[in-house]
Amino acid sequence: MNLDLKSRRCVVVGGGAVAERKAETLLDFGAAVVVIAPELTPRLHDLAAERLVEHVAGKYTSGMLEGAFLVIAATDDGEINKAVSSEAQRLGILVNVVDEPELCTFFVPAIVRRGDFIISVSTSGKSPALARRVREELEARFGPEYGEFADLLGELREELKARHPNPADRYRVFLRILDSGVLNLLAQGRRDEAIERARKCI
């Protein structure tokens, strides 16, 4: 399941290196990020100073999660992490506790992102190292042209729907485009040719 996080209030409890990574990932997907921690890494401090994240200075206490869409607990205090998980679940808020799968209601996958083309890898919290290794292999396999390809298909989508109202017909057209060599043209930087070839498939 992929969630639309744009402008949604997402809380990160913790101010260390792991919390920093989680906050930056949430920002990448357009979330309104709140960081609860007495101290921050230099990077988180800068993000707060630039008002890219909201910093609530101090330790987490009950009641701080009100209004959150999801919560990530990334502290080195097991009792705080448990309390965050408990409150979030009581309030019906999605919660992830780093390295504590039994306290989670969702898992954060390893991500390969090429624009709107996104591949996620998860081991359901059992082995982040394995997910990271697979992600690295996928990063080498899927270049930036895949993001461009997704954009191109998005641009053609309305035109394709107008010309082919039947979903089965549209699917066959998409397969023709996928098999037409458009991706290779994009990888070579030949975007205009790629668009022309894709349109011929429609």
pTM of this prediction exceeds 0.75: yes
What confidence tier does 8 reach under pLDDT thresholds 50, 70, 90? very high
Tell me, yes or no, whether 180 lies in a domain. Answer: yes
Give me the residue label for tokens 């991500």.
Answer: 111
The percentage of the chain sitting over the pLDDT mark of 90, rounded to a whole number, equals 91
- Digit-coded pLDDT (tens) for 174-185: 999 999 999 999
Query: 139: closest CA among 176, 172, 110, 169?
Result: 110
Residues 28 and 87 in one domain: yes
CB under 8 Å to 131, separation ≥6 — which residues?
Answer: 109, 110, 121, 122, 123
Per-residue model confidence as pLDDT tens digits over 94-106: 999 999 999 999 9
Whether residue 83 sits in one domain with residue 157: no
Domain that holds residue 186: 145-201
The structural domain count of the chain equals 3
Q: What is the mean pLDDT of residues 149-170?
A: 93
pLDDT in tens, 107-149: 988 899 999 999 999 998 889 899 999 999 999 999 999 999 9
Please report the beta strands in 31-109, taking only residues with DSSP state E, as ranges in sequence order.
Answer: 32-37, 53-57, 70-73, 94-97
Sign of the dihedral defined by the CA atoms of residues 89, 94, 95, 101, in that order? positive
Q: Among residues 184, 182, 183, which one has the least CA distance to residue 197?
A: 182
Q: What integer best gives the mean pLDDT of the chain? A: 95
Residues 87 and 171 in one domain: no
Backbone angles phi, psi at 127, to 5 degrees: -155, 85
Tens of pLDDT, residue by residue over 29-70, are 999 999 999 999 999 999 999 999 999 999 999 999 999 999
Rounded-to-integer distance, Cα 193 and Cα 199, Å = 10
Is 3 a member of any domain? no
| β-bridge partners, 112 | 119
24, 51: one domain: yes
The yes-or-no verdict on residue 1 having pLDDT over 90 is no
Same-domain status, 16 and 104: yes
Element (H, E) at 13: strand 9-13
> What does DSSP assign to residue 114?
E
* Whether residue 78 is found in the same domain as residue 93: yes
DSSP letter, residue 74: -
Distance, CA of 131 to chain centre = 15
Structure tokens at 167: 């979903």
One-letter amino acid of 86: S
Rounded to an integer, what distance in angstroms lies between the CA atom of residue 89 and that of residue 98? 16
